[in-house]
Amino acid sequence: MKKIRQPRRWEIWLWPLVTAALLLAVWQYSVLWTRTNVFPSPLGVWHGILGLSHEHVLWADIGASLRRVAVGFGAAVLVGIPLGLCLGWFPALHQVVNPVLEILRPISPIAWIPVAIVFFGVGDPAAIFLVFLGAFFPIVVACVGGVSSVPPLFRRAGRNFGLSNAQLLRRVVFPAALPQILIGLRIALGIGWLVVVAGEMIAVDSGLGYLVIDSRNSGKRYDLVVAAMLIIGIIGLILDAGFRTIERIRSVRWGFRHAV
């Protein structure tokens, strides 16, 4: 069987940069070709970003969005991981709770915006609540699936060494399920970032989502709208890359797929 060639380090950086440059060229050419006065060129967007940076508006909005995601995602982790581990460890309890989870899980966090405003008013708590909802269910599902996927052989081996249930869960089951849990955390963080932007368009008056809608309503500044959109995408890429880095740590990658 022919071995697949791994990309060199320089190729990992070069080809994405080439692709981005080509997209910028197509974007610039499309604006010039259509002679539009509405959609901005890449240079116009860059000038918009510089203007926001000089006015200290951009960094304040980025900080506000990241703060809300950090609090909402952190709360989802603190609640979702213990609950998911518990449901995966006790299948009977999972059968009781699972119908409720499956009813609530398909509901888009965006649909909760009116409810969040009623409960928390217009402000940070509403946006944080939406992030929490968006991240909570993927974390729980990933934890349940990770614990359920651990081979019974691992549990029997732990009991043969005299481990208690708490020690078995902490030292054997959780490390074995950790790769799948990290995938759930990564998905949950992405959803949380999407949700906070949508929530900021309605429920708060700061953040990148608010910057998008405010730029559209205040003078139709589409250069700022596109600039905010690009910044949202870049931050999402950085957050995802951070979790990918964690997944590659040798001690974190320990799981039954690597152990058998």
Which helix (H) or strand (E) covers residue 192, if one does? helix 174-200
Report the predicted TM-score, pTM, of the whole model to 2 decimal places.
0.83
Structural domain spans, the chain:
40-259
Which residue ranges in the chain fall short of pLDDT 70? 1-12, 15, 250-260
Count of other CB atoms within 10 angstroms of residue 193: 24
Yes or no: say if 134 and 104 are a contact pair by the CB < 8 Å rule.
Answer: no
- The alpha carbon torsion through 250, 69, 149, 248 (nearest 10 deg) reads -20
CA dist 178 and 252 (Å) reads 7
pLDDT at residue 6, as a whole number: 59
Residue range 40-259, CATH number: 1.10.3720.10
By CB atoms closer than 10 A (0-12, 13-18, 19+), residue 230 is middle
Tens digits of residue pLDDT in 6-38: 566 656 677 678 888 898 888 888 888 887 777
Q: What's the sign of the alpha-carbon dihedral 136, 79, 197, 125?
A: positive
Distance from chain centroid for Cα 258: 26
